[in-house]
Amino acid sequence: MDNRSELPLAILGTLPNPVLVKDKDLRYVWVNHAFEELFNVDTNSLVGRTDKDVFTHRQAAQCNGGDLRVLASGEIDEATETVVNSSGEQRETLTRKRRLEADGSIYLVGIMHDITEITRVNELLHEKSAALELLANTDSLTGCLTRRALLEQWQQQIVPETGAAVLMIDVDKFKAVNDTYGHETGDHVLTTLAERTRTALPNNSLLARYGGEEFVAVIPDCTTERAFAAAERLRLAVGTTPIATPTGPLVATISVGISHCVSPDTADLNKAISRADTNLYLAKKRGRNQSLAA
């Protein structure tokens, strides 16, 4: 490249993006001023040396990642790299490399784009997206699933051959609790119920707050008989242990309606919830504080 016009190199030298040129043995032939500034190197001292002569082993491995492939195939390569600049700061770069044939020689030409800020913005957006998804899928008071999340997980986790039991759970006379003790106490009753339900039911169960004081639990691979036994354990765990509140211990009871479903289709889950809700209504009509799987 010594015989080539100085004008193209002069133009490349003014670019704000770091530019590099290597020979077929991956030895530096030329770099522009932006490259010198990024890594605090001097072109004259860099010429004839390889990345491993100048940079750390990790950084050299990254820089040389696609170099040989580009020289061998002639394909253009774009890759993200984490480099350490002259201030010791990590920067994310997108480096585009291609093979250049000139004056009977083969060269590797690369241009680097600093995408650190873009990467940071994307990471922030990803974090916010994850937070919004969590918010959409989780009930803020109890930490249970929302209806939407329940339907999604139902389709992902339930096996048609084994099916699942569906429990509709409701706090008995919850309106009276709110009217007598206040909504803060009512909220505490709901969070306590959610905690005790998670403890009483199998670990693979799905638990969603369905609305107000109603919860839906789905127990995968479970018969109606086993679901009834689980519902009774839950009912006793709630009704026999008073809930501590600012105004003193409070005894709350629950009623549970149970149904069974053998398909992961959303429509079938809605039907199963409807049947469990009917059984819940009958349990309340028969005196509350009981489980029913009619």
Q: Provide the residue-wise pLDDT of the chain in tens; the chain has 294 residues.
A: 444 456 567 777 777 889 999 999 999 999 999 999 888 888 888 899 998 888 777 666 666 667 888 888 888 888 888 887 777 888 888 889 999 988 888 999 999 988 888 878 887 877 777 667 767 789 989 999 998 899 888 888 776 667 789 999 999 999 999 988 899 999 999 999 999 999 999 998 999 999 889 999 999 988 889 999 999 999 998 999 898 887 788 999 999 999 988 777 777 888 999 999 999 999 999 999 999 997
The answer to whether the beta carbons of residues 154 and 260 sit under 8 Å apart is no
Q: Is residue 238 part of a domain?
A: yes
Q: Estimate to the nearest angstrom the gap between the alpha carbon of 72 and the chain centroid.
A: 39
Largest CA distance in the chain: 99
Do 110 and 237 belong together in one domain? no
Catalytic residue (one of 37, 213, 214, 232): 213
Residue located via tokens 């009276």: 176
CA angle 195, 148, 160 (to 5 degrees): 90
Do 147 and 284 belong together in one domain? yes
Do 111 and 150 belong together in one domain? no
Q: Where is 119: in which H helix or E strand?
A: helix 116-137
Do 178 and 288 belong together in one domain? yes
Do 113 and 163 belong together in one domain? no
Domain end, chosen from 88, 118, 148, is at 118
| Number of domains, the chain | 2
- Amino acid at site 48: G
Residue 213 is a catalytic residue: yes
Q: Is residue 127 part of a domain?
A: no
Instruction: Transcribe 219-258 into DSSP letters.
Output: EES--HHHHHHHHHHHHHHHHSSPBP-TTS-B---EEEEE
Q: How many Cα neighbours within 13 Å face the side chain of 162? A: 8
Do 160 and 284 belong together in one domain? yes
pTM (2 d.p.): 0.60
Lookup: tokens for 158: 């339930």
The answer to whether the beta carbons of residues 189 and 243 sit under 8 Å apart is yes
Q: Which CATH number characterizes residue 212's domain? A: 3.30.70.270
